[in-house]
Amino acid sequence: MPRTEGTYKAQSERATGVTPQAEQAPQTQQEEPAHKGRQRTKMVAPPNNYLVPERDALLTPVLECRHLGIDFGGLKAVEDLNLMVGKTEIAGLIGPNGAGKTTVFNLLTKVYQPTRGTILLDGQDTAGMDTARVSREGIARTFQNIRLFDSLTVEDNVKIGLHNRVDCGMWSGIFRMPRYWLSEKEFHDRALELLDVFNMADNANDIAGSLPYGAQRRLEIVRALATGPKLLLLDEPAAGMNPVETEELMENIVKIRDDFQIAVLLIEHDMDLVMGICEGIVVLNFGKVIAKGTPEEIQANPQVVEAYLGKQD
């Protein structure tokens, strides 16, 4: 993981109300830490109540939520969410089923308008924006249940993502090209280049719906990437993947962050993935943040273990 700098220091420069457990927790003999060979990121707290990777500390965070909330009738599905994601951070959003995680993604992408609070995307307030606009401004997502154009080819699914970006006139994302420069061949080349991120260029002519499940999940990520995001939201990307596919996915998420220099916010129940690649983690329970911190802090937090981790398998 070449871009992570520095070393993780357990309790230095921490951000928020996470009780300092990591150093005190007795070190039980574990088989192998989830992050294996990956070097830990040093997380720092800018002068506020947040936590970002040290390398991003002086840059405008790609995402900041302040007191974000939404009610569905009497249910406060998300309540007073404060969250910051650094420019090149891989961040995790975890918590039990029904905690409000997908609702957060729906708020960020304006599927729902917030009842309360503010969302800043790269410093810009997204109040009043709709889904298409936040997509153009740089948020891309994948869904908990795969959404592809099943009867189209793999390549065409990616091209749809590319067209979404082009429709805004200028590619502000990865390619930076005015639309009229792009011929069909260039679209084709770009699509294959992106598919290559997941070694899927050979599948370009396959029908999307005929791909194995894991490959469909990967294709969804490629299509999201094609829109040229600053922030990629992944909703349970490892769901239904086998351990080998999950390990590959982890490598690829890190690669995407490194190559595209974007941020990733992911929802995931696979704790090997979350603890292995996330730098900062936020834990939701009943719509509220119950903990924020590094993987080590989260794993050692009694409230998190009680509400969520203790109940894993």
Ligand X SMILES: Nc1ncnc2c1ncn2[C@@H]1O[C@H](COP(=O)(O)OP(=O)(O)O)[C@@H](O)[C@H]1O
98 binds, among Mg ion, ligand X, none (CB under 5 to 8 A by kind): ligand X
Nearer of residues 108 and 158 to Mg ion, judged by Cβ: 108
Q: How far is the CB of 27 from Mg ion (least distance, A)?
A: 33
Nearest distance in Å: CB 8, Mg ion: 29
Residue 99 binds which one of Mg ion, ligand X, none, with CB within 5 to 8 A depending on kind?
Answer: ligand X
- Which residues between 143 and 182 bind Mg ion (CB under 5 A)? 144
Alpha helices in the chain (DSSP H): 101-108, 131-137, 154-166, 184-195, 213-226, 243-260, 271-277, 295-299, 302-307
Residues 6+ apart with CB under 8 A from 285: 95, 96, 99, 307, 308
Q: Residue 233 half-sphere exposure, CB side, CA atoms within 13 Å?
A: 23
Q: How far is the CB of 105 from ligand X (least distance, A)?
A: 8
Nearer to ligand X, 4 or 106 (CB): 106
Q: What residue ranges bind ligand X (CB under 6 A)?
A: 72, 75, 77, 95, 97-103
Q: Which 8-state DSSP code applies to residue 62?
A: S
What are the C-alpha distances in Å from 185 to residues 3, 181, 191, 205, 227? 33, 11, 10, 15, 18
96 to 115, contacts with Mg ion by CB under 5 A? 101-102
Nearer to Mg ion, 102 or 164 (CB): 102
Residue 72, contacted partner among Mg ion, ligand X, none, CB below 5-8 A by kind? ligand X
> Which of Mg ion, ligand X, none does residue 237 bind (CB under 5 to 8 Å by kind)?
none
44 vs 77, beta carbon nearer ligand X? 77
CB of 173 to ligand X, least distance (A): 27
Kindly indicate which of the ranges 21-29, 36-44, 93-101, 155-163 contains the residues binding Mg ion, using the contact rule CB under 5 A: 93-101
- Contacts with Mg ion, residue ranges (CB under 5 A): 101-102, 144
